[in-house]
């Protein structure tokens, strides 16, 4: 199920607030990584790494849960992926 543009806009604003609260070193590292992944996605016709595929690869690492329960981690995978996908696709908005 796809989110509406309004829902995505609200989620992006929440992500932006959370990202801006990161410690400076974490913020800059995430900014650099998202900008790089955005550049990688520009070549998705050649490398097959669109926003969604990049999010599948990087989401679990970036959004690791502190809860060790593997069932809970599996349930959250789609949310982690969607958040990561939105961060990559909208990196210029979040890191202004």
Q: Is 14 left (phi over 0), alpha (psi -120 to 50) or beta?
A: alpha
Q: Tell me what percent of the chain is helix, strand and coil, each rounded to the nearest 5.
A: 75, 0, 25
**Token pair for residue 65?**
């849960």
What b/e string do you get for 44-63 counting C-beta neighbours within 10 Å, with b at 16 or more?
eeeeebbbbbbbbebbbeeb
- CA 66 vs. chain centroid, Å, equals 18
Listed residue (85, 23, 17) closest to 77, CA to CA: 85
Range of the domain at 89: 5-94
Q: How many helices (H) and strands (E) does the chain have?
A: 6, 0
Quick check: 6 pLDDT over 60? yes
Domain count of the chain?
1
pLDDT in tens, 54-71: 999 999 889 877 778 888
Averaged pLDDT for residues 3-15: 81
pLDDT in tens, 16-27: 999 999 999 999
CATH number (domain holding residue 37): 1.10.555.10
State the pTM of this model: 0.82
């Amino acid at each position: 199920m796809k989110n509406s543009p309004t829902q995505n806009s609200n989620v992006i604003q929440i992500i932006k607030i959370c990202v801006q609260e990161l410690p400076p070193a974490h913020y800059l590292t995430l900014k650099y990584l998202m900008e790089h992944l955005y550049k990688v996605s520009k070549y998705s016709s050649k490398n097959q790494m669109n926003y969604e595929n990049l999010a599948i690869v990087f989401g679990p690492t970036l959004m690791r849960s502190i809860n060790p329960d593997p069932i809970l981690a599996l349930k959250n995978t789609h949310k982690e992926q969607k958040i990561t996908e939105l961060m990559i696709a909208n990196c210029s908005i979040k890191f202004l």
